[in-house]
Structure 1
């Protein structure tokens, strides 16, 4: 795969041209003369080179692009747009790695999940992990098992995933490998082993099947195990490619003898816990080497030393790892120290508080109300106050009884507000607030209702610190509808799965509202059943509307 770097900020691109060599053949070389404005006459598009690649962005997107230049209508070459773009990861993509066994399988990690892609399947990833609690900061394929890969976390732990066993949870978890987050995982390659052996990774099931369990059937003192060739061939037929001996299948089939030697490599000299001997000569050499020890009866026998007539040969000391002595017992001591603890107590001073008592109001029955309304005293009262009420209404029609006398005193009074302070800016007309829903919230978007007069909708989000901006809150987010008739109470509540940063009314149907969440979801509401509440034709009632979400 060829990688081409595009410098988008400087509007430059790397172009390829065809140049004639000395022997008459042609070769593709960079054309730096046409770095800014490529010319179609001097450049030739690549046809026989795979120019497609996967790219991860800092916004969590996986783009599948083709950097091969294409011609426009004027005949000029330019870079094509990405073929596909998927928003799988919620933040920075830190790993994009090709499988060492398959040329069309790619592993990507970023933020809270990982994904596995297959080139040619452009509907999305073929495997996408669930959302983890800790960020995935590194990823790497295994060099010996095609279905095994490793994931590093921000808390310093490493997970081992085996796709042939389970795709929902890791097969092994190694917590707290380091105190810092893991930013890179690279398989360790051991020193080159001899040609007549091959290191193998045997799972616990394989060790149980062939009777070669580590530190039980085979140990550091007795690391050798002879395996029947027929049993290994039977394992090929039973488990096929899932067999741990599949990398050496042809060698096992061509082996001339009936038994193969398996050696337990406890010290990982050749990189794995076991290695298989491939030739009968190597098997005989290794088995004879383990029995070349001095006989017990020769211990303490007299030895006669004499000068050698041949050249003296030196034998430098060399540590044999198989015969190393391990520390089995150690003297140590423990001293108990008494635990000290400081504590204190303080009597809480009760502050004086104002107390109040509320009595239940007295209410008249319906019969008492009818008696009062039909009484002669109520009729006499209405007759006496009616002329005064008519006079007051007449005076209100003649002049404005609510005029501000202070402002009417002179021109100087026009520059101050009702409190007597200078005021030269805009005046507050309406204030919409609801202490139950708007407390400790901030407004992210405001829209007028397109058809109902005096109704406004606002989106509320929680106030968070900068270090918490990359995590999603668990509090419910709302869109509130206020009316000029009652600015202190919300008329309608729209529930949201996460914070809403923008929303709009549908131009063709104002009862349909669409909103965008912080987690990337698109939410739709239908308020057609609650239009009567907003218009004021029915008694005001707060209604909670359920949502339908659509993930990209």
Structure 2
């Protein structure tokens, strides 16, 4: 090293150029097209060959930390090499096809000695000097997989270098095997299709023929002969057809089967079990509970079940976990819709009949006010209840002329599902008939309240249910009585 310090830096650079040209590793392998032209006969795959698709994935040339971020393996250093360093080491020809190059350790130490602190290898000088092999393996990091902005990696341990080379060899071997598999698949398609021989298998009885025989109706007695007679004079009688109004037909005496209310629907019947046998009764049995509704039931096969080992294997299967993760969002969306939509709501009950409103042809008197309920008073607040809908309403059990109203946002089903899970303030307003403008009390909830109720033992305690499944409890006993002791009329 002392003799090299006397040489100018420019002359030392000329000495480094031929050394780097000899140390470059050529990782370009011959393609399968050359092998295919060289061999006219395709060799069969070896016994026990595992296809490339069924092999385990190749190990990555890096490790992953607890946060899932790639980090260099043990014995690898991530560096940023400037264009000057790349030109001095003659490694600018590295690419994705040829990502490795061997650089002598003395050459790197010589660069650190002459360039000093400005050398890109100066921060890792101690680790380079402690490396257990020579020359060192340098790798091109084009994708910046670590996210640190560095463009090269250097393996300072022989184990890390062997790991890089083994991964590269495995990738090449799999590419080579995949091309061979494609050639075999193409050769199989060109083969003439052989006609499959149909083998006659013995018939195995599973009990279906017994059920078919039992379902066939067979005569157990002789057929009964029935003779029907009709007077001859009733043959070839003239028929006169005419049209009648349905209203007249149903209200006339010509209607043979008039509609009537069948009392059997409201008649509650008690089911009684009775047995008859030719010999004397052996024992008397009685039960207290009534039998359920009789219904037909039948089965053909004994249900098939899997052994416990197979069930445990299926529960640990990654395919089952992938399927559950794929359908989880759809199932959650369906459950949310079931909670939001009221499937028992009767939409027809809100419709009014034209005849009841005094429409044409009805029994009404024609006065619309007779069938409509007129509004006497309304309660609204610009801050809490304007442009909102009422989700629940209850009378105050201990005060007259006062109601409690829960208001929610006027949203459609899709909008409500889209905003599900987001916290939003909701209110329950306590109104007094004496003041329709200002509510007597405002109860705040962390989410929209769709139902609430007063405690039957203590009316000052109110319990409400939110749309997200949360239960809210209010205690108004500590507040002053906003309604007074007497309450209002109404």
Q: Greater relative contact order (Cα 8 A, min sep 6): structure 1 or 2?
A: 2
Determine which structure has the larger helix proportion and give its number: 2
Same fold (TM over 0.5): no
User: Larger radius of gyration, structure 1 or 2?
Assistant: 2
Q: What is the TM-score when the length of structure 2 is the normalising length?
A: 0.30
Determine which structure has the larger strand proportion and give its number: 1
Q: What is the TM-score when the length of structure 1 is the normalising length?
A: 0.27
